[in-house]
Structure 1
Amino acid sequence: MNNVKRHYLKLLRQEYKMALLGVLLAVITAYSGIALLAVSGWFISAAALAGLSAVAAHSFNFFAPGAIVRGLSMSRTAGRYGERLSSHEATFRIISNLRADLFRLISRLNWNEQQLNRHETSSRLLQDIQNIEAIYLSAILPAAVSFLVMVAYLVTLYLVLPALIPWVIIPLIFATFVMPWLYSHRVLQSESTLHKRHSEQWLSASALLSNMRTLTLFKRLKHSGEYLQKQAQESDNYESMAVQRQQQILLLTQAILIIMTVLIFWQGLLAFQQGQLEGAYAFMLLLLTLGSAEVLLNNCPALANLGLGLAALDRLQDNLTNNTETLDKRTFTQTDSSTIGLHINQLNYRYPQQKADIFKQFNLRYDGPNWIWLNGSSGVGKSTLLSLIYGQLAPSAGSIEFTGLNADEIRFMPQRIDILRATLRDNLTLNITASEQAIRHALNIVELGEWAKRLPNGLDTWLGEGEWQPSGGERKRIGLARLILQNPQLILLDEPTAGMDSTLAAQIYSQLRAHWADKIVLCSSHEHDFITTRDKRLELTALKKTVS
């Protein structure tokens, strides 16, 4: 998929028969509705005028117009039903192929750099895909109907009274082209800002809920709540202002269409007074204009949806262009010595969406088994460094070298531990084979031995969605037990005891030290209480990393 726009057009061409059928039936529905309104107006006014004279009333043909009205009503109903079936069928076919292709490609890309697990990135991606899916149904279809209705309206005016064309051409151009462009500009202008504000609000709410205990202890909960409330108020105010601006353009468009309707009726009455037009036709033109104006008004959101869809295609193309499949740039060297080592030389790294470097000419050299603690405030690069060492991210410059081990002997425990909908045994062993004795031993090290015994079916108890749900601390310890069973030589831990009681965390660290005495363990943590004099410590600050 070299070009996303080209691929979308390809999918649209594959379903062009169903898509064109949807457009055709939508146009028939619009034409039938407008014609029904116009013919009904002509019929009622002509019948009323004919009733003023006994002779005219006797000779007036009531049956043919009545049949036309019934025919138009039936064609409008049938057209609307058929249009819904065909247009939605075309949309669903395009969506199914588009989603399959996009998610297949996205799954192969290095989304670690784009931080797909973050709310802003993932919600932006999903919103873009929804906007792309709406291009046909919410943009192309109504825009095509509006344009063909405008053409048919001008042709009808030319056939009935050509002198009306100069009176409507300017307001018609404004209502059909200029105002939809302004409306689309307003929508696109505010869409990105609104998405950013909502993402920031979500992140603040998530941080508040995650750190409620700490905020309460330090008496900062009220302040954080007030800040979140302020964010929500500002977001609501901006959204309200954006909607008001869009509504103003819609109201202005309606005003232009009303002016056009008044001009048509005025000129129709003048033509009637001058004998150029029958009185019933003047009312027919009035209702014809009102019916057409209702359809033309839909062109404003149609062009806006087209703009949103095209912008989403461009963003997705940029992501796909900037993203490549993950390439492992780490090097592994085997030595005769049993010593294992990690050497980082002149490492540079920056996330593509950020301007500032996370690491610049960063160096680290460590040989031999022991623990090294990564400390520092949030955002200084602790998790990023672990991802670079693990190979999820690739440095832009510099090197990461390992001695005495290979890639399969490195394991990483992230902050979020995923629980499969499977038994506890399967959640612990994953793709390896382990005896029950080894599993029990791993659970005892992380203080889950008694917990596992109390489960309804022991190791065969099902965990996950709709099953037995472990708590946050239990999830962390399940993650640690997985690492124990996998028996790697280099272990990367990202906040492994977050949310645990300090006494429990100290006990687990003590037992892990004994079990991993011959390993290199890099542990990212905000806590300093568990660091011993034998450990190495890496204090991370903004572009200032020191080893002690």
Structure 2
Amino acid sequence: MAERRGVIATLAPWLRLLGRRRGRLAAGAGLMSLALAAALGLLALSGWFITATGLAGLALAAGAALTLDVYVPGGGIRGFAVTRTVARYLERLYNHDTILRLLADLRGRMFAVLAGLDGRSLAQRRASDWLNRLTADIDTLDSLFLRLLAPAAVALLAILALAGFLALWSPAAGLSVASVLGVAWSWLTWGQARLGLAASRRRIAELERLRGRLIEQLQGLAELETYGSLAARRRHLETIEARLYDDQRRLGHFAALGSALAGLAVGLGWLSALWLGALAWQAGALSGPLMVMMPLAVMALSEALAALPMAFTQFGATLAAAERLNALDDARRDAAPQTGTSLPDGALALSLEEVSLRYPGALSPVFDGFSLALAPGERVAVHGVSGSGKSSLAALATGQLVPDAGAVGLGGLPLADIAAQDLADRVACLTQHTELFDDSLAANLRLAAPEAETSRLWAVLATVELADWAQALPRGLDTRVGEGGRRLSGGQARRLALARLLLRGPGLVILDEPFAGLDSALAARIAERLDAWLAGRSVLYLVHERTTQACLPGVCRWQALANGAEPAFAPPPGIFQDGAKH
């Protein structure tokens, strides 16, 4: 296990990411400060005004001549009340919008990290674990600004500002309030975080474990019921839930303790301000309204401190989420090539020499001394049954997998020495897994070429015979395809992925069952058009059997894969490889 980093080092990458939106974060913290300042002003001015009018009334009843301007403080009270309401509303609206933008930044960053991981790294964890990274862990990190950094900073600023304000009339009261509330602030942040660190860390790990086991149970419900294992699995889930409840109860106790201490600190603060203010009033150094105003102003700070105990008690969860996401980033950097050699122009040669590959936990290797040579401009078809290693071959050729032994070369260079961006630009792969996003047809196509003009999009759709269909749609290229392309048929989704591939300009093209799900006549027509685009490029076809030979234009050589050792959990070659840049 890697050595655990310090708190600052763990959060540093995410703080830098927050820094990209420092303007919005500063504005959000400003609105938070404004709402708190208005609350302080409202309570302080109200206390002063009520006391002043009461004393003025007593003086007038006693026959004294006295004037009191009620309009200015009355207007001030209304102004503070309206400002507090409006500022609080705008702060919630603006900060939550900022958090949604930050979540988009975080998910975009982590999706790029996952896309950069090789297939072996992806195979080491369940799909539910990767989903948990992109959802639960990212959602946990959204508390970094909204519940931790901003409220703590605003509360500390409010304590210092109020202490300075009170010191204008009573330095002793200002110092006392700063000491009491300063110590309370330290405990409510660092102390509560330390107190709940272990339990909140465990809780996020147990939540991941519960999600993964629950998804597995739902997916295998029929098999578990058939073999009589469902009751045991349920007991296992109940055990995890019990541990979760224990930690949740423990964290609830810690948060309740923090809330009680926050209330106690505010009570001690206003009591000390009242006592010292009374002494100053007794000595004639302070008026009665000011004496009442001081403790009431301190009472308003309970709003600033109330949110800290719960947030910082859960700090361990935020820290654990950051550590897990940092580990992904580290894994991508470790897998990245250390040099940046560029590939030659034109068609690329591909070579695999005595390659051996075994997936973690697999009973047998996928490849054991496998070799393949593809000359520049040559078209080779590799065929084999399901599980024979075709997808793994594509993953090796695109750098998504690193062999246990042997060498993989591209364009006469070792694959490990080629710059990642150059490899992504010069190699295009259509995998069996059609990756489409819940966006428009145009957006899914432009994953391969972000600057592609609309006319070019229509041209590649015409190549795969989707142009007439897309033109007949009410929104044309702006039509959304649904999550995973679920609004399309399997054949349409496959052809859309192939059209996306045609927007690329690679030197090596890998086509894994390019015409799967298409009838033979349509496949033959598309293959004829595809032949012109493939001219001058090296092509590696991956198919199940040689009966598809008629639909593979220009094949000059066939090679069989017969080991049948590829495990069922072998990952696809990459998230973006079916036409988009991998």
TM-score range, shorter chain: 0.5 to 0.7
> Are the equivalent residues in 1 in contact too, given 2:386–2:564 (CA < 8 A)?
yes
Residue 34 (structure 1) shift: 0.8
Q: Which amino acid aligns with 2:291?
A: A
Q: Which amino acid aligns with 1:37?
A: L
Residue 289 (structure 1) shift: 0.9
- Tell me the equivalent position of 2:488: 422
> Aligned to 2:519, which of 424, 432, 436?
436
Q: Which amino acid aligns with 1:107?
A: A
> Equivalent residue of 2:405, what SS?
strand
Residue 123 (structure 1) shift: 0.8
> Equivalent residue of 2:286, what SS?
coil
> Aligned to 2:35, which of 21, 29, 33?
29
> Aligned to 1:520, which of 562, 566, 570?
562
Question: 59-68 or 124-133: which moved more?
Answer: 124-133
1:268-347 equivalence runs, <5 A: 268-300=277-309, 312-313=321-322, 315-324=324-333
Q: Which amino acid aligns with 1:46?
A: A
> Are the equivalent residues in 2 in contact too, given 1:343–1:401 (CA < 8 A)?
no
Q: Which amino acid aligns with 2:519?
A: E
Looking at structure 1, the residues matched to 100 and 24 of structure 2 have their Cα atoms a distance apart, in angstroms, of 11
> Equivalent residue of 2:564, what SS?
strand
1:343-383, Cα deviation, whole Å (9 max, x unpaired): 555x6876xxxxxx87999994689x999999xxxxxxx99
Q: Which amino acid aligns with 2:30?
A: L
Root-mean-square deviation (CA, aligned residues, Å) is 4.9
> Aligned to 2:81, which of 66, 73, 76?
73
Looking at structure 1, the residues matched to 172 and 494 of structure 2 have their Cα atoms a distance apart, in angstroms, of 83
> Are the equivalent residues in 2 in contact too, given 1:197–1:235 (CA < 8 A)?
yes
Residue 390 (structure 1) shift: 4.8
> Equivalent residue of 1:522, what SS?
coil
> Are the equivalent residues in 2 in contact too, given 1:349–1:396 (CA < 8 A)?
no
Looking at structure 2, the residues matched to 234 and 308 of structure 1 have their Cα atoms a distance apart, in angstroms, of 15
Residue 389 (structure 1) shift: 8.7
> Aligned to 1:62, which of 64, 70, 77?
70
Q: Indicate how the Cα distance of structure 1 residues 389 and 163 shifts in structure 2: closer, same or farther if over 3 A, else same.
A: same
> Are the equivalent residues in 2 in contact too, given 1:344–1:362 (CA < 8 A)?
no
TM-score by length of 2: 0.59
1:52 aligns with 2:58: yes
Question: 392-401 or 156-165: which moved more?
Answer: 392-401
> Are the equivalent residues in 1 in contact too, given 2:48–2:293 (CA < 8 A)?
yes
- Tell me the equivalent position of 2:444: none
Looking at structure 2, the residues matched to 100 and 211 of structure 1 have their Cα atoms a distance apart, in angstroms, of 31
Q: Indicate how the Cα distance of structure 1 residues 386 and 297 shifts in structure 2: closer, same or farther if over 3 A, else same.
A: same
1:150-161 equivalence runs, <5 A: 150-161=159-170
- Tell me the equivalent position of 2:48: 42
1:247 aligns with 2:330: no
1:328-477 equivalence runs, <5 A: 364=368, 387=392, 390-391=395-396, 394-395=401-402, 397-399=404-406, 421-426=487-492, 431=498, 432-433=514-515, 436-437=519-520
- Tell me the equivalent position of 1:218: 227
Q: Which amino acid aligns with 2:562?
A: I
> Are the equivalent residues in 1 in contact too, given 2:251–2:313 (CA < 8 A)?
no
Residue 215 (structure 1) shift: 3.0
Looking at structure 2, the residues matched to 371 and 436 of structure 1 have their Cα atoms a distance apart, in angstroms, of 21
Residue 42 (structure 1) shift: 1.7
Q: Which amino acid aligns with 2:182?
A: I
Looking at structure 1, the residues matched to 367 and 560 of structure 2 have their Cα atoms a distance apart, in angstroms, of 23
- Tell me the equivalent position of 1:138: 147
1:72-151 equivalence runs, <5 A: 72-84=80-92, 86-88=94-96, 90-91=98-99, 94-110=102-118, 112-115=120-123, 118-151=127-160
Residue 113 (structure 1) shift: 0.2
> Aligned to 1:179, which of 181, 188, 192?
188
> Are the equivalent residues in 2 in contact too, given 1:326–1:394 (CA < 8 A)?
no
Q: Indicate how the Cα distance of structure 1 residues 199 and 71 shifts in structure 2: closer, same or farther if over 3 A, else same.
A: closer
1:168 aligns with 2:177: yes
> Are the equivalent residues in 2 in contact too, given 1:132–1:309 (CA < 8 A)?
yes
> Equivalent residue of 2:300, what SS?
helix
Looking at structure 2, the residues matched to 51 and 273 of structure 1 have their Cα atoms a distance apart, in angstroms, of 21
Q: Which amino acid aligns with 2:232?
A: H
> Are the equivalent residues in 2 in contact too, given 1:146–1:296 (CA < 8 A)?
yes
> Equivalent residue of 1:219, what SS?
coil
Looking at structure 2, the residues matched to 215 and 128 of structure 1 have their Cα atoms a distance apart, in angstroms, of 29
Structure 1: state its 5+ residue gaps: 335-341, 351-356, 375-381, 441-480, 489-515, 527-548
Q: Indicate how the Cα distance of structure 1 residues 149 and 370 shifts in structure 2: closer, same or farther if over 3 A, else same.
A: closer
Looking at structure 2, the residues matched to 486 and 127 of structure 1 have their Cα atoms a distance apart, in angstroms, of 46
Q: Indicate how the Cα distance of structure 1 residues 307 and 276 shifts in structure 2: closer, same or farther if over 3 A, else same.
A: farther
> Are the equivalent residues in 1 in contact too, given 2:162–2:174 (CA < 8 A)?
no
Residue 35 (structure 1) shift: 1.1
Structure 2: state its 5+ residue gaps: 1-8, 338-348, 372-381, 410-414, 416-426, 436-483, 499-513, 524-541, 550-557, 569-582
> Are the equivalent residues in 1 in contact too, given 2:10–2:322 (CA < 8 A)?
yes
Residue 122 (structure 1) shift: 2.8
How many residues in Structure 1 have an aligned counterpart in Structure 2? 427
> Are the equivalent residues in 2 in contact too, given 1:438–1:485 (CA < 8 A)?
no
Q: Which amino acid aligns with 1:320?
A: D
> Are the equivalent residues in 2 in contact too, given 1:180–1:299 (CA < 8 A)?
yes
> Are the equivalent residues in 1 in contact too, given 2:165–2:174 (CA < 8 A)?
no
Looking at structure 2, the residues matched to 427 and 483 of structure 1 have their Cα atoms a distance apart, in angstroms, of 20
1:7-18 equivalence runs, <5 A: 12=18, 15-18=21-24
Looking at structure 1, the residues matched to 211 and 163 of structure 2 have their Cα atoms a distance apart, in angstroms, of 50
Q: Indicate how the Cα distance of structure 1 residues 238 and 29 shifts in structure 2: closer, same or farther if over 3 A, else same.
A: closer
1:252-303, Cα deviation, whole Å (9 max, x unpaired): 2322222222232233334434444333333212211110232133344565
TM-score by length of 1: 0.62
> Are the equivalent residues in 2 in contact too, given 1:50–1:56 (CA < 8 A)?
no
Q: Indicate how the Cα distance of structure 1 residues 75 and 427 shifts in structure 2: closer, same or farther if over 3 A, else same.
A: closer
Q: Percent identity?
A: 21
> Are the equivalent residues in 2 in contact too, given 1:184–1:301 (CA < 8 A)?
no
